[in-house]
């Protein structure tokens, strides 16, 4: 009896969170196209985080140098973090500054950014804002102009639209592409429309320099983007999404490489949840601040995934054992029509997001058939991450080919 109560209580918590997120996602169905434009005036230090990226860094530098923004208003710096290849040589040959860092103890993107910012603050030229990319990215030419517009409007932390550079390379990259289209539209845009905080995505980020100097970077976990997002929300600074500023990120082609990347994300997410959930939840109650409450709930989404895996596993075991079932499901007490609505909403949210995002390729829609495999694989990855969450080792994603912006835009 007690076991059933606990089991159903956990299911109820998961159901409430699912309904909450679905309610928010409805506000992402519509997009406000109005945007106030400003003449180019902000100066940018464009940072490219790189670790042994000789295969792809050249394509990004060529892309960045062609941005539709006055060239005297931005400089490009490649952070060559513990590189043992030709990343620095290629960067210099293309006319940008290669900043080489060697520190085998403090490894990872967060530490590299923290080091680079200290280097920037000591340089003769100071910049209004800092933009950060990964070396395997590509960006639309108007990216800096759109960041300029938001900075002129008083925003201090801005996230660009994260798209996938290579969604057609394999069923794994297609799954990344579909989930990113879904998250951009029904997670990020919905929060934009509700005037809530968006969440940083690790690349395509823009920061007001004065804010970074005041706060310091201080985000050195495996998910430095999420960590800095929570630090901002704690201070009452809410990152915004610029839906038109497109950034194309390369995704792992193989399932093995994808699992390794997502394991790192989940390990870091557990760390952020442990450090920020209680402070944000308490602040939301004390200040009656719904934005902080939403951010607190977002930090524990990793526990929601873990709990979903464990409850499903226990239920399957209970059904498989040849004896009367011990566990009762919350859903056995619900009317059939509620279950039909819930199942339909779950199934349709991805193709709806793709349609809203203008995806026209039938091959991408066909990949919806393999998407459940990708989504279910989050369960064992998260389970393993829970027991290895103290790991601080940064895993590098290997690149398989070079993609240039003309190819992405042509598709």
72-122 pLDDT per residue, tens:
999 999 999 999 999 999 999 999 999 999 998 888 888 999 999 999 999
pLDDT at 345: 84
Q: pLDDT-based confidence at 405, cuts 50/70/90? A: low
pLDDT at 407: 65
Residue 62 clears pLDDT 70, i.e. is over it: yes
pLDDT at residue 285 greater than cutoff 80 = yes
Strands (E), 67-135: 74-81, 97-101, 129-134
pLDDT band at 333 (very low <50, low <70, confident <90, very high): confident
pLDDT at 98 (0 to 100): 95
Contact 127, 211 (CB under 8 A): no
Q: Give the rounded percent of residues in the chain with a pLDDT score beyond 90.
A: 78
pLDDT score, position 326: 72
pLDDT at 112: 93
Q: How far is CA 179 from CA 36, 166, 186, 203, 374, in A?
A: 30, 14, 10, 17, 10
CB within 8 Å of 93: residues ≥ 6 apart: none
Which pLDDT value is given to residue 129? Answer: 98
Strands 129-134 and 44-50: parallel
pLDDT band at 344 (very low <50, low <70, confident <90, very high): confident
Q: Return the pLDDT at 392.
A: 72
Q: pLDDT value at position 401?
A: 62
Query: Of the spans 240-249, 311-320, 332-341, which averages the highest pLDDT?
Result: 240-249
- pLDDT, residue 406, reads 61
Confidence class for position 279, pLDDT limits 50, 70, 90: very high
| Model pLDDT, residue 404 | 63
At residue 262, the pLDDT reads 95
Cα-based distances in Å from 333 to 10, 329, 330, 338: 15, 8, 6, 11
Q: Can you give the pLDDT at residue 146?
A: 97
Residue 221 pLDDT level (bands cut at 50, 70, 90): confident
């Amino acid at each position: 009896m007690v076991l059933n109560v606990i089991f159903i209580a956990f299911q109820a918590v998961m159901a409430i969170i699912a309904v909450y997120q679905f309610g928010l996602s409805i506000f992402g169905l519509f997009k406000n196209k109005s945007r106030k434009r400003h003449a180019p005036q902000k100066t940018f230090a464009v940072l490219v985080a790189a670790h042994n990226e000789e295969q792809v860094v050249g394509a990004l530098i060529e892309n960045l140098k062609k941005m539709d923004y006055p060239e005297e208003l931005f400089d490009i710096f490649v952070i060559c973090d513990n590189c043992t290849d030709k990343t620095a040589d290629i960067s210099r040959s293309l006319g940008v500054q290669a900043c080489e860092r060697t520190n085998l103890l403090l490894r990872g993107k967060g530490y590299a950014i923290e080091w680079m910012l200290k280097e920037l603050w000591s340089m003769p030229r100071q910049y209004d804002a800092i933009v950060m990319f990964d070396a395997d990215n590509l960006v639309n030419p108007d990216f800096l102009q759109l960041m300029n517009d938001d900075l002129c409007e008083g925003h201090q932390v801005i996230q660009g639209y994260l798209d996938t550079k290579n969604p057609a390379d394999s069923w794994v990259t297609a799954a990344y592409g579909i989930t990113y289209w879904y998250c951009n539209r029904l997670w990020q845009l919905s929060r934009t429309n509700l005037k809530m905080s968006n969440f940083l995505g690790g690349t395509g980020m823009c920061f007001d320099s004065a804010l970074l100097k005041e706060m310091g970077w201080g985000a050195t976990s495996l998910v430095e983007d999420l960590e800095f997002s929570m630090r901002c929300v704690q201070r009452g600074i809410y990152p915004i999404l610029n839906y038109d500023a497109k950034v194309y990120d390369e995704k792992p082609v193989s399932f093995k490489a994808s699992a390794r990347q997502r394991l790192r994300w989940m390990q870091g997410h557990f760390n952020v949840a442990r450090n920020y959930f209680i402070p944000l939840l308490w602040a939301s109650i004390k200040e009656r601040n719904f934005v902080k409450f939403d951010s607190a709930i977002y930090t524990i989404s990793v526990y929601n995934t873990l709990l979903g895996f464990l409850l499903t596993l226990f239920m399957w075991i209970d059904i498989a054992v040849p004896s009367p079932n011990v566990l009762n499901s919350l859903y056995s007490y619900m009317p059939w029509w509620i279950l039909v609505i819930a199942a339909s909403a779950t199934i349709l949210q991805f193709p709806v997001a793709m349609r809203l995002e203008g995806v026209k390729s039938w091959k991408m829609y066909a990949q919806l058939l393999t998407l459940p495999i990708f989504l279910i694989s989050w369960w064992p990855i998260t389970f393993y991450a829970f027991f290895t969450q103290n790991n601080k080792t940064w895993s590098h994603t290997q690149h398989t080919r070079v993609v240039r912006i003309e190819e992405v835009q042509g598709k």
